């Protein structure tokens, strides 16, 4: 497919209400605040506004707060969950997108309170109920985390 044939991401503006409809996650583990754009079946751009009020900053690290890398991966996975649920039109169905594997995780820069964390995720492979994704988290264009992960669509446990 040439660049001219690649569809542009649809500009969407999923506020927190629409995010809550798509994901089963709730505070304190909801790590997506808004969806900026999405091309169903392909990619999503979501954001997480990182606040000093985040529960994890109480212990990671007092006096030098840094968002844990594993939570950046979780935020990317939640964005992937929205992409998967919306692509398959399963919002409100009770279906879950759960981790199966994490590969090639790299942490490039710290994420601190006050940052707007951009979450870019794309499908890399789709098979029946198992999907592979590539995700990149960034702040102001600087990559903070990149990862490949596998997830599965399943009924609620």
Exposure pattern of 33-51 as b/e (b: 16+ CB <10 Å)? bbbbbbbbeebbbbbbebe
| Maximum CA extent, the chain | 50
Annotated active-site residue 60? The verdict is yes
CA separation for the pair 33, 50 (Å, rounded): 10
CA separation for the pair 48, 117 (Å, rounded): 5
Known catalytic residues are 60
């Amino acid at each position: 497919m040439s660049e001219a044939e690649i569809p542009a991401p649809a500009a969407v503006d999923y506020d927190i209400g629409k995010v809550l409809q798509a994901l089963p996650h709730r505070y304190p583990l909801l790590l997506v605040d808004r969806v900026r754009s999405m091309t169903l079946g392909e990619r999503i751009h979501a954001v997480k506004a990182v606040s000093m009020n985040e529960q994890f900053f109480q212990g990671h690290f007092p006096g030098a707060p840094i968002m844990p890398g594993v939570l950046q991966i979780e935020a990317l996975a939640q964005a992937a969950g929205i992409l998967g649920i919306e692509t398959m039109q399963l919002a409100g169905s009770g279906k879950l997108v759960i981790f199966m594997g994490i590969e090639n995780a790299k942490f490039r820069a710290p994420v601190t309170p006050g940052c707007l964390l951009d979450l870019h995720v794309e499908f890399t492979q789709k098979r029946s109920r198992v999907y592979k994704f590539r995700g990149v988290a960034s702040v102001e264009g600087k990559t903070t985390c990149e990862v490949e992960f596998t997830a599965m669509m399943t009924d609620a446990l």
